[in-house]
Structure 1
Amino acid sequence: MDVRQRQRRVAPPAVGHAGAPRVLQAGDALPLPIRHTNLIFSALFAASLAYLMRRWREKIRSSTPLHVVDLTEILSIFGLVASLIYLLSFFGIAFVQSIVSSSDEDEDFLVGPPAAPAPSQCGLLGGADAVVPEKMPEEDEEIVASVVAGKVPSYVLETRLGDCRRAAGLRREAVRRITGRQFEGLPLDGFDYASILGQCCELPVGYVQLPVGIAGPLLLDGQRFYVPMATTEGCLVASTNRGCKAIAESGGATSVVLRDAMTRAPVARFPTARRAAELKAFLEDPANFDTLSVVFNRSSRFGRLQGVQCAMAGRNLYMRFSCSTGDAMGMNMISKGVQNVLDYLQDDFPDMDVISISGNFCSDKKPAAVNWIEGRGKSVVCEAVIKEEIVKKVLKTNVQSLVELNVIKNLAGSAVAGALGGFNAHASNIVTAIFIATGQDPAQNVESSQCITMLEAVNDGKDLHISVTMPSIEV
């Protein structure tokens, strides 16, 4: 909900010893410090109660009616009731304080006075909860007006101003004026916008904060790893951490990389299907691989061509190149190598019309059977044997129940749903959280989380053998 700002005169806040504004306390309404007040009423309650108990005991022994009281007893009863009321109310002071604090914060947010902008910065560079000033510096006002009117493209602000932070603030204000919506909950301050200039995320207006948790240690191939996970989903890190604990206490897991090959598949159109078939035969002929490999490998000292797989649709030829890319994910690396090969083939196939460097036969960021069967990126199998006592103590279940659940849910249930590489519980949850935390492309979670989970009872049914097969992890 948009809130129109109104100016009002506000008394200066109280300042503590360090010069910081002091939060109003409910106990400030009392004539004495709250700890002294508590002590006085506690003593009054104890003294009044002790005196009345002693007096009533004497009356009972002397058969004096209890309702006959003197002035001292009246004062004691009054003190007892007053102190009891205070002590009962004392437990509600924290609640009263929370109401007072939240009311003050809401009032300050809605109608608090705007902070004066620094002369050298854009007046909009406060945080997400900062108040937008009614009047901007004249230079900034002109820039924002030009962006709103369409005279100045928003994407040139960084270049013209030479200040990425200021450009983001002005762009944010321009969008606010165009849409009529506030950027509630989206921080602007506290991010290095210069670090992403020309690298990623064009036209920034803020940033999103995500909590990062750590699961582990994960004992894998004899080494201990701590796994960062960025997520807003409750229990995801905790459940992953529990799995790491079960694996570690059972001796750890082992992994095997079956294949390491990134793919790129350009599509080319020919005058006839026969001509497309001729190029297909040329690319798949083992006698021509060395020549293609030399041409391909010129693009990088890390990228090495491994093979070419072709498919046809009419007169369109899809060429799926696969290559190793070292430690890099390698999409740009393989794209440059493919372009070298296409330029080389153009001499012998001048009638080849390259439609796209990627013809979706790769297949990138889309669920595809070719990735599930042939693999893309790292094809990996991991396995572990979880001991029976660990299954009961850590996982709070038993081996037979887990095996049955995996068959009925992960295997049969996914088959009923027609899943493509989704024969698992929630591999995409963990993969995506790790990708975001480590700077990988979250969209490649689509194929990277393709996984089949297998559970078997071993060692006479006592222990649990668990494995995950993931043919297309793109890292």
Structure 2
Amino acid sequence: MQAFDIIAFVHSNDEEDTFLIPSAVRRIPEFSSNDEELISSVVAGTIPSYELEGKLGDCRRAVGIRREALRRITGSSLEGLPFDGFDYASILNQCCELPIGYVQLPVGIAGPLLLDGKHYYVPMATTEGCLVASTNRGCKAIAKSGGAMSVLLRDGMTRAPVVRLPSARRAAELKAFLENPSNFETISVVFNRSSRFAKLQSIHCALAGRNIYIRFSCSTGDAMGMNMVSKGVEYVLDELKKDLLPYSLTSTSSNFCSDKKPAAVNWIEGRGKTVVCEAVIEEEVVKNVLKTNVSTLVELNVIKNLAGSAVAGSLGGFNAHAGNIVSAIFVATGRQDLAQILESSHCITMMEAVNDGQNLHVSVTMPSIEVGTVGGGTQLASQAACLDLLGVKGGSETPGENSKRLAAVVAGAVLAGELSLISALATGQLVKCHLKYNRSTKDTCKF
């Protein structure tokens, strides 16, 4: 029978909640005399901490030794950081280096999200009270109005190396060569050798003096594809250097990609999946579920999301809180590069009255959703379970279908979140609901 520890949590209003936590999660590892020697060596610096997994061949033991060495070095107890209950071998050489434990995050469920005729229950990992409840309300409004529809406009991951030529003229010559349609097939053959899933789609170049920035775009199957496209880029650059003209490679990535940064090139040309998701919300649903009216939502969307973001000089941020939903789904489903939340959250939310002003047409356009269903953290047990819940776990029979479906679900959930938050702002419910879900007060919330 599994043992539990009773943990008490005291709120700011002096009310107390108790929780049962599996004892194994909180158990401090025990050490043998051999372990003590290793711990002392790590503390003294004679054995690098990063060598423990390789030396021991036991990932759990390596983590315990590293953790204890850190505790002795820093004086921190690390008591609140769980140790047991995690498969450390599953992250070796692919997800996280120098592990000392893991962080627990609650996963909530929003839905069903009726999208493209199918119901999805969307997993969201978050510590922000109200987020899941609000998204869930948006899902309810969409479902009661017949569901949402999505369309994929583009699917291509990018990588842009920077190459320095002897002169600006030579850089311009290389640009002309790379962008000449008659040369594309030859370049594609070289690029596509790098992977059975990589398919070069386009090449777009920009110059700054004698530096040329080459933005390669390719399809990557069900993988997010950064490593795949980078490998293909190296194949092409090696071939160019050998057969065309000498150059010095400054960097495999030049920020013209643009990865993990808000950038106009992603907002305009897209990166990863470009998805539009829309729904028509019936007047009665707006009134009874969202607790507001169509004209108020349309006006507030213009003033807040469009004009407000313009006043702020926003880049890709013409929305209420797309990043909230994107980040929660990314964490739950094992996105390897969480910083890609930045460009993946680019979104413009549109609302307008239709059918003689009775119903609300709402849409989100997201040009750079960067998702994958294979690789990175998608193979970890918890994240794989969330992907399986959505029906997009692993690679699909038709390469790319699972990752495209996941991108559509992200956009659909953002649509739901936008509907609910704008409605909460329109009715003055935002602060009250956050106080309820974030401060544990007894206030009521209409979500």
**Closer/same/farther in 2, CA of residues 245 and 173 from structure 1, 3 Å limit:** same
Note the aligned Cα RMSD (angstroms): 2.3
Report percent identity of matched pairs: 74
Per the alignment, residue 234 of structure 2 pairs with: 339
Match of residue 469 from structure 1: 365
Q: Which residue of 2 aligns with 1:141?
A: 36
In the TM superposition, structure 1's runs of 4+ consecutive aligned residues that sit over 6 Å from their partners are 18-23
**CA shift at 1:348, angstroms?**
3.4
State the shift of 1:300 in Å: 1.6
| Equivalent residues in 2 for 1:169-188, closer than 5 Å | 169-188=64-83
Other-structure match for 1:354 = 249
Match of 1:160 among 55, 71, 75: 55
Matching residue of 1:42: none
Task: Please state if 1:364 is matched with 2:283.
Answer: no
* Contact persistence 2:124–2:331 (CA under 8 A): yes
Name the stretch that deviates more: 171-180 or 422-431: 171-180
Tell me how far apart the structure 2 counterparts of residues 19 and 266 of structure 1 sit (CA, whole Å): 53
Structure 2 CA distance, aligned partners of 1:466 and 1:343?
Answer: 48
Pick one of 116, 120, 128 that aligns with 1:221. 116
1:451–1:468 contact (8 Å) kept in structure 2? yes
Match of 2:184 among 289, 310, 319: 289
**Which of 330, 352, 367 is the equivalent residue of 1:435?**
330
Contact 1:128 1:183 in 2 (8 A): no
Contact preservation (8 Å) 2:27, 2:83? no
The answer to whether 1:246 aligns with 2:141 is yes
Q: What is residue 431 of structure 2 aligned with on the other side?
A: none
Give, as a single letter, the amino acid of the residue that structure 2 aligns with 1:208.
V
* Aligned AA (1:473): I
- Opposite residue 249 of structure 2, the aligned amino acid is V
Aligned pairs (5 A) from 1:390-429? 390-429=285-324
SS of equivalent to 2:267: helix
Structure 2, unaligned runs of 5 or more = 7-15, 372-447
Q: Could you tell me whether the CA contact under 8 Å between 1:304 and 1:324 is conserved in 2?
A: yes
Q: Which amino acid aligns with 2:200?
A: L
**1:139 & 1:156 partners in 2: Cα distance?**
16
Which residue in 2 is equivalent to 1:447?
A: 343
Give aligned pairs, total.
Answer: 359
In structure 2, what is the equivalent of residue 316 of structure 1?
A: 211
Counterpart-to-counterpart distance in 2, 1:408 and 1:230: 30
* Larger Rg belongs to: 1
Q: Give the number of the structure with larger relative contact order, counting CA–CA contacts within 8 Å between residues 6 or more apart.
A: 2
Which residue pairs with 1:384 in the alignment? 279
Given that 1:256 and 1:381 are in contact with CA atoms closer than 8 Å, whether structure 2 keeps it comes out as yes
Q: Does 1:459 align with 2:360?
A: no
Structure 1 Cα separation of the partners of residues 272 and 5 of structure 2: 57
Query: How big is the shift at 1:339?
Result: 1.0
1:293-340 Cα offsets, whole Å, 9 max, x none, are 111111122211111000111111100001111222111111111111
Change beyond 3 A, Cα 1:172–1:267: same
Q: Kindly tell me: are residues 251 and 20 of structure 1, through their superposed partners in 2, closer, same or farther at Cα, counting changes over 3 Å?
A: closer
| 1:129 CA displacement | 4.6
Matched, 1:269 2:164: yes
Q: Return closer, same or farther for 1:375/1:151 CA change in 2, 3 Å cut-off.
A: same
